Amino acid sequence: MSTAPQLVVHRDKDLMAQAAAARLITRIVDAQASRGSASVVLTGGRNGNGLLAALSAAPARDAIDWGRLDLWWGDERFLPEGDPERNVTQAREALLDAVPLDPKRVHAMPASNGPHGTDVDAAAATYAEELAAAADPENHGPVPTFDVLMLGVGPDTHVASLFPELPAVRETERTVVGVHGAPKPPPTRVTLTLPAIRAAREVWLLAAGEDKAEAAAIALSGAGEIQAPAAGARGRARTLWLLDAAAASQLPRSLYPPASA
Report pLDDT for 116.
93
C-alpha 109 chain-centroid distance: 13
Exposed/middle/buried for residue 65 (C-beta within 10 Å: 0-12, 13-18, 19+): middle
Report pLDDT for 138.
76
Give the closest residue to 127 by CA, choosing from 185, 178, 77, 69: 178
Q: At CA 118, angle to CA 115 and CA 123, rounded to 5?
A: 55
Report pLDDT for 123.
98
Rounded distance, CA 158 to CA 66, Å? 30
Report pLDDT for 258.
56
Is 151 in contact with 233 (CB distance < 8 Å)? yes
Is 25 in contact with 55 (CB distance < 8 Å)? yes
Amino acid at 8: V
The sign of the torsion formed by the CA atoms of 96, 64, 106, 163 equals: negative
Low-confidence residues in the chain, pLDDT < 50: 1, 261
Q: Report the topology of domain 6-255.
A: Rossmann fold (3.40.50)
pTM, two decimal places: 0.95
H helix intervals, 112-249: 120-134, 167-170, 194-197, 213-219
The sign of the torsion formed by the CA atoms of 180, 186, 190, 194 equals: negative
Is 131 in contact with 72 (CB distance < 8 Å)? yes
Report pLDDT for 136.
85
